[in-house]
C-alpha cells in the first residue's frame, strides 16, 4: 500500500535507503547532499537499519571505502555533491572498471569556482565518461523511485556497473513536495538480497581485485566495461516495467511530454523540466505544437531512441545546465546533436547553456526558448547554435 | 611470546614466489614476515597502495597473493580497507558470514607518509580493526627514487640530486610512527629485519591480533634506491638499529616501550657509508654534514628515550 507524505528530495532518498537497508554507507558531508547521510546516520543510531555507517574524513575516502566494501561483497553506496564528486574523480573510474555495482546519491551542485552551493550539472556532467550509469530526476518522487530501482539495474548480472542517482541541489533536494512512498517490505522484496558471485570475503574462494594491467589486457578490460553498458537500457526498461506494477508509476529512458504532434521541442535534464512543462501547457492552449523530452537515463545515452522521438520535430533546443567550454555548447547538446546526425535528421538544433550556479529558470524563459525555435523555423536557419539563457551580457 | 625461528620460517608462504619484485627487495621481506604473524587457518584480506609491491605482485592475469587482496589506488589504502572491514562487520551482523577475517594493508612510504596520509589518518582515528603496514624504503622507488617525507636528510634522490649547490635532501624525515601514536590507536610499532626476524614477527602478530587499529613502520631497504651491495641488506638493517637511526620501539595503549638499546651506539657513518645515496657526505670538506646528521640522530634518540622512560 502506498503512503502519501510530504518530503524533500533528500528525505525521500534517505527513506529509500532506509527501506533498502544497504550493508555499508561511508559518507562525508557536503551541501546540498549532507542531509542524506545525516538522516541515514539517525536511522543507524536508532537501529532502523543494519548498515555499517562510516563517517569518513573526505569524499575521496567515502568512495574508496564504498569500493572496498562493494569488492568485499557488501551492498554499498555513498552520497555527495559538486566538489565532493570532483574529489572522488579517480575513484569513479576504479569503481566502474572493477565492475562494482555500488550506488551514489548525487545532489547536483555547481563546481567551484567561484564557489557556489546551488544547482547545476557541472559535477555529474564531468563524470559522464567515468563508466557510471547516470539517472536524473525532475522531482522528489522521481529521485525516490530511481533510488529504489538503482540496485536492480547496477547489480544485474549483465550490467554490474556503478550507478549515480542524481537530483537537483536545493530545487529538488530541499523543496518539500507531495510524494508517494512504498511500504518497507515492498521495497525490500523489490530490491532483493545482494548475492555477488565473486567477492573478497568469500571463504570458498579468495579473490584479487585491482590488478596492474599491461597493454596486452587493458583494452579488453575497457571493452568489457562497455559491454556491461550496452545492456543497461534494456535492464532499465525491464526494471521500470516491474516497478510500474508495484507503484503504478511509469518510467522509461526519457519522458516524452506532449511530443505526439510537436514541431518544436526542448531536450533537458532535471528539475527545470517541470517549469518547461508549464510553459508547454500555456503554449499548447494557444495552439502551439511544442513538447519536451526529459532525459532520465543519461549514461548510457539513449541516442537512437531520442533521435526517433525527435524525428518529426522541425526545431529543437537542447538545454545544458553545464558548460562544456568547447565554444559550441554543452555535453547534452553534443550528445543529442550527434544522435540527430547519425539519424540523418534535418531538424534545426540549438544548444542553450542555462541555470548555472542555481540561476533561476522561469516559465517565461522557457516560453522565450520556444519563441526562438519558432523564429528559427521561420528563418529556415538555426542562427547562432551556442546560446546562453537568462544571462546578463 | 616465544619465538621459534625455524618454525616461523617454515610456515606456508602467503605471498607466492614468481612475483616480479627485484631480487633482494626489502618490501617483499617485510610482507612475507608480516604475513607469518597470521595464525595458520586464519583468513585475511590484504590491502595495498599503488607502488612497486602492487604492480609487481598482481600483474594481470597473475596474482602472488594467497589471500583475498585489493588494490584500489595510491592514496587510499587506509580508506579502502576501512570499507572492507565495514563490509565484514555488516555481513557478520546480518548473519551472512561465519568465518573470522583479519585485515592487513601494505603501503610504501609514498602511499603512507605522503599521498595516503589523510586516508591513513582517518582509518587510524576511526579505529577500524585493521593493521596498516608501511614498508619504508625512504623514497618513491616505483617511479624512480624521488624524495618523500620519509627520505632522510642529505639523501641523493632524483628530485633532491646532489649538485654544486645541493647536498641532497635539505629536510629531516617525518616521524610517522610518532604521529600515528598521537592518534591514540591501540598499537604502533617500528621494526626492521634484525634478530632473526623475531622483533618483526612478534610485532606483526601483536598488531594483527590487537583489536582496533594498528600501525607497523618497517624499515625495508631498497638496493636500487640506497645503492648498497644487495646481499648486505641484513647488515644494513643491523647498522640502522645499532646506530640508533632506526630504533625498535612500540607504543601499546599510549605507553612507549623501547625494545632494544645498543650496548655501544655506533657512529652514524657506519650506517651511511655502505650506501651510495650518501656517498657525497664522505667527501673531504663535508665532515660538517656528517656531524649534523649525527646530531639529528642523537636528538631523536634522546627524545625516544624520554618518551619511553615516562
**Considering CB atoms only, which of B63, B89, B121 is closest to A208?**
B63
Q: Output the pLDDT for position B310.
A: 63
> Could you read off the pLDDT of B268-294 as tens digits, one per residue?
999 999 999 999 999 999 999 999 999
The CA distance from A127 to the nearest CA of chain B, in Å, is: 18
Q: Do residues B102 and B128 touch, judged by C-beta distance below 8 A?
A: no
Q: How far apart are CA A369 and CA A266, in angstroms?
A: 8
> Could you read off the pLDDT of B194-249 as tens digits, one per residue?
999 999 999 999 999 999 999 999 999 999 999 999 999 999 999 999 999 999 99
In the stretch 8-47 of chain A, residues with CB closer than 8 A to chain B read 23-24, 26
Residue B216, CA distances (Å) to A156, A181, B14, B29, B293 in order: 41, 50, 18, 14, 25
First-to-last C-alpha distance (Å) of chain A: 52
Instruction: Give me the architecture of the A3-246 domain, per CATH.
Output: 3-Layer(aba) Sandwich (3.40)
Note every long-range contact of B152-156, with CB atoms under 8 Å and residues 24 or more positions apart, other chains counting.
Answer: B152/B245, B152/B293, B153/B292, B153/B293, B153/B296, B154/B278, B154/B280, B154/B281, B154/B289, B154/B293, B155/B277, B155/B278, B156/B276, B156/B277, B156/B278, B156/B279, B156/B280
Cβ-Cβ pairs closer than 8 A, A with B, add up to 171
Q: Do residues B111 and B136 touch, judged by C-beta distance below 8 A?
A: no
Residue A1 scores a pLDDT above 80: no
Q: Output the pLDDT for position B26.
A: 98
Q: Judge whether A250 is closer than 8 Å to chain B, CB to CB.
A: no
Q: Which CATH number does A255-388 carry?
A: 3.40.50.920
Same CATH fold assignment for domains A3-246 and A255-388: yes
| Rounded average pLDDT over A280-298 | 98
> Could you read off the pLDDT of A204-231 as tens digits, one per residue?
999 999 999 999 999 999 999 999 999 9
DSSP state of B174: P
> Could you read off the pLDDT of A180-191 as tens digits, one per residue?
999 999 999 999
Domains annotated for chain B, with CATH where assigned, are: 5-309 (3.40.50.970)
Q: Output the pLDDT for position A356.
A: 98
Give me Rg for the CA atoms of chain A.
21
Q: Output the pLDDT for position B308.
A: 97
Nearest CA in chain B to A209: B70
Q: Output the pLDDT for position A32.
A: 98
The CA distance from B68 to the nearest CA of chain A, in Å, is: 5
| Rounded average pLDDT over B58-71 | 97
Nearest CA in chain A to B87: A69
Nearest CA in chain A to B56: A212
The CA distance from B135 to the nearest CA of chain A, in Å, is: 20
Q: Where are the alpha helices (DSSP H) in A165-316?
A: 184-191, 215-230, 232-247, 272-285, 303-309
Confidence category of residue B1, pLDDT binned at 50, 70, 90: low
Q: Which of A52, A55, A66, A92 is the mutation pick for testing B, counting most B CBs within 10 A? A: A52
The CA distance from A206 to the nearest CA of chain B, in Å, is: 5
The CA distance from A94 to the nearest CA of chain B, in Å, is: 7
Q: Output the pLDDT for position B208.
A: 98
Residue A2 scores a pLDDT above 90: no
Cβ contacts of B116 on chain A, cutoff 8 Å: none
In the stretch 86-115 of chain B, residues with CB closer than 8 A to chain A read 86-91, 93-94, 97-99, 101
What ranges do the domains of chain A cover?
A: 3-246, 255-388
Q: Judge whether A70 is closer than 8 Å to chain B, CB to CB.
A: yes
> Could you read off the pLDDT of A21-32 as tens digits, one per residue?
999 999 999 999
Q: Output the pLDDT for position B2.
A: 81
Q: Which of A104, A210, A221 is the mutation pick for testing B, counting most B CBs within 10 A? A: A210
Residue A393 scores a pLDDT above 90: no
Cβ contacts of B101 on chain A, cutoff 8 Å: 201
The CA distance from B128 to the nearest CA of chain A, in Å, is: 10
Q: Would the ipTM clear 0.85, i.e. be above it?
A: yes
The number of beta carbons lying within 10 Å of the beta carbon of residue A357 is: 16
Q: Judge whether A198 is closer than 8 Å to chain B, CB to CB.
A: no
> Could you read off the pLDDT of A139-162 as tens digits, one per residue?
999 999 999 999 999 999 999 999
**Considering CB atoms only, which of B55, B60, B76 is closest to A64?**
B76
**Mean of the per-residue pLDDT values of chain B:** 97
The verdict on a CB contact (< 8 Å) between A56 and B79 is: yes
> Could you read off the pLDDT of A99-139 as tens digits, one per residue?
999 999 999 999 999 999 999 999 999 999 999 999 999 99
Residue A192 scores a pLDDT above 90: yes
**Mean of the per-residue pLDDT values of chain A:** 97
**Considering CB atoms only, which of B60, B76, B82 is closest to A54?**
B82
The verdict on a CB contact (< 8 Å) between B86 and A65 is: yes
In the stretch 49-78 of chain B, residues with CB closer than 8 A to chain A read 54-56, 58-61, 63, 65-73, 75-76, 78
Q: How far apart are CA A297 and CA A165, in angstroms?
A: 10
User: What is the signed CA dihedral for A381, A383, A385, A386, rounded to 10 degrees?
Assistant: -170
Q: How far apart are CA A124 and CA B185, in angstroms?
A: 38
**Considering CB atoms only, which of B54, B70, B93 is closest to A68?**
B70
Q: Which of B79, B92, B124, B143 is the mutation pick for testing A, counting most A CBs within 10 A? A: B79
Identify the CA nearest to A292 among candidates B243, B271, B192, A282: A282
Residue B295: strand, helix, or coil: helix
Amino acid at each position: 500500500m502506498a503512503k502519501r507524505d510530504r518530503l524533500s528530495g533528500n528525505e525521500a532518498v534517505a527513506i529509500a535507503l532506509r527501506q533498502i537497508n544497504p550493508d555499508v554507507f561511508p559518507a562525508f558531508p557536503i551541501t546540498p547532499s549532507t542531509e542524506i547521510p545525516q538522516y541515514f546516520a539517525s536511522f543507524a543510531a536508532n537501529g532502523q537499519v543494519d548498515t555499517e555507517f562510516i563517517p569518513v574524513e573526505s569524499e575521496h575516502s567515502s568512495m574508496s571505502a564504498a569500493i572496498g566494501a562493494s569488492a568485499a561483497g557488501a551492498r554499498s553506496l555513498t552520497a555527495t555533491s559538486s566538489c565532493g564528486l570532483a574529489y572522488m574523480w579517480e575513484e569513479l573510474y576504479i569503481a566502474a572498471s572493477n565492475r562494482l555495482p555500488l550506488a551514489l546519491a548525487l545532489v547536483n551542485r555547481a563546481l567551484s569556482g567561484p564557489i557556489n552551493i546551488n544547482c547545476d550539472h557541472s559535477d555529474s556532467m564531468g563524470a559522464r565518461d567515468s563508466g557510471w550509469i547516470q539517472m536524473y530526476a525532475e522531482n522528489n518522487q522521481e529521485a525516490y523511485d530511481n533510488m529504489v530501482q538503482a540496485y536492480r539495474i547496477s547489480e544485474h548480472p549483465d550490467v554490474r556497473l556503478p550507478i549515480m542517482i542524481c537530483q537537483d541541489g536545493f530545487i529538488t533536494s530541499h523543496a518539500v513536495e507531495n510524494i508517494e512512498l512504498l511500504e518497507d517490505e515492498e521495497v525490500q522484496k523489490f530490491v532483493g538480497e545482494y548475492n555477488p558471485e565473486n567477492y573478497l570475503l568469500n571463504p570458498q574462494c579468495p579473490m584479487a581485485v585491482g590488478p596492474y594491467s599491461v597493454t596486452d589486457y587493458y583494452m579488453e578490460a575497457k571493452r568489457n566495461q562497455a559491454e556491461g553498458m550496452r545492456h543497461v537500457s534494456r535492464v532499465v526498461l525491464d526494471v521500470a516495467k516491474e516497478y510500474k506494477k508495484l507503484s503504478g508509476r511509469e518510467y522509461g529512458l526519457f519522458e516524452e511530454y506532449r511530443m505526439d504532434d510537436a514541431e518544436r521541442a526542448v531536450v533537458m535534464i532535471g528539475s527545470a523540466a517541470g517549469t518547461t512543462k508549464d510553459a508547454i501547457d500555456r503554449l499548447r492552449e494557444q495552439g502551439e505544437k511544442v513538447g519536451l523530452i526529459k532525459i532520465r537515463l543519461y549514461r548510457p545515452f539513449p541516442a537512437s531512441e531520442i533521435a526517433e522521438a525527435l524525428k518529426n520535430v522541425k526545431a529543437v533546443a537542447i538545454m545544458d545546465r553545464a558548460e562544456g567550454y568547447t565554444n559550441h555548447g554543452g555535453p547534452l547538446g553534443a550528445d543529442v546533436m550527434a544522435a540527430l546526425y547519425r539519424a540523418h535528421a534535418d531538424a534545426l538544433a540549438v544548444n542553450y547553456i542555462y541555470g548555472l550556479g542555481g540561476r533561476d529558470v522561469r516559465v517565461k524563459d522557457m516560453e522565450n526558448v520556444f519563441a526562438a525555435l519558432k523564429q528559427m523555423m521561420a528563418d529556415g536557419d538555426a542562427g547562432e547554435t551556442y546560446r546562453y539563457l537568462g544571462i546578463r551580457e | 611470546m616465544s619465538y621459534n625461528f625455524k618454525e616461523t620460517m617454515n610456515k606456508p608462504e602467503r605471498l607466492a614466489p614468481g612475483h616480479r619484485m627485484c631480487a633482494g627487495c626489502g618490501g617483499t621481506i617485510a610482507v612475507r614476515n608480516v604475513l607469518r604473524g597470521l595464525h595458520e587457518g586464519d583468513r585475511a584480506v590484504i590491502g595495498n597502495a599503488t607502488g612497486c609491491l602492487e604492480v609487481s605482485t598482481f600483474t594481470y592475469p597473475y596474482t602472488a597473493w594467497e589471500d583475498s587482496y585489493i588494490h584500489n589506488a595510491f592514496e587510499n589504502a587506509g580508506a579502502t580497507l576501512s570499507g572492507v572491514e565495514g563490509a565484514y562487520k555488516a555481513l557478520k551482523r546480518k548473519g551472512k558470514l561465519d568465518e573470522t577475517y583479519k585485515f592487513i594493508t601494505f603501503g610504501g612510504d609514498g602511499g603512507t607518509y605522503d599521498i595516503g596520509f589523510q586516508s591513513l589518518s582517518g582509518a587510524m582515528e576511526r579505529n577500524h580493526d585493521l593493521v596498516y603496514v608501511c614498508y619504508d624504503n625512504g623514497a618513491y622507488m616505483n617511479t624512480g627514487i624521488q624524495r618523500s617525507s620519509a627520505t632522510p636528510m642529505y639523501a641523493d634522490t632524483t628530485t633532491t640530486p646532489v649538485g654544486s649547490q645541493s647536498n641532497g635532501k635539505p629536510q629531516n624525515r617525518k616521524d610517522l610512527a610518532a604521529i600515528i601514536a598521537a592518534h591514540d590507536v591501540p598499537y604502533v610499532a617500528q621494526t626492521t629485519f634484525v634478530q632473526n626476524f623475531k622483533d618483526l614477527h612478534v610485532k606483526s602478530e601483536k598488531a594483527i591480533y590487537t583489536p582496533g587499529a594498528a600501525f607497523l613502520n618497517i624499515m625495508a631497504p631498497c638496493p636500487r634506491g640506497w645503492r648498497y651491495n644487495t646481499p648486505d641488506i641484513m647488515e644494513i638493517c643491523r647498522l640502522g638499529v645499532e646506530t640508533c637511526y632506526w630504533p625498535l620501539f612500540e607504543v601499546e595503549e599510549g605507553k612507549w616501550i623501547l625494545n632494544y638499546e645498543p650496548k655501544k651506539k655506533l657512529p652514524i657513518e657506519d650506517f651511511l657509508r655502505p650506501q651510495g645515496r650518501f656517498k657525497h657526505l664522505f667527501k673531504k670538506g663535508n665532515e660538517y654534514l656528517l656531524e649534523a646528521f649525527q646530531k639529528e640522530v642523537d636528538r631523536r634518540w634522546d627524545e625516544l628515550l624520554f618518551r619511553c622512560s615516562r
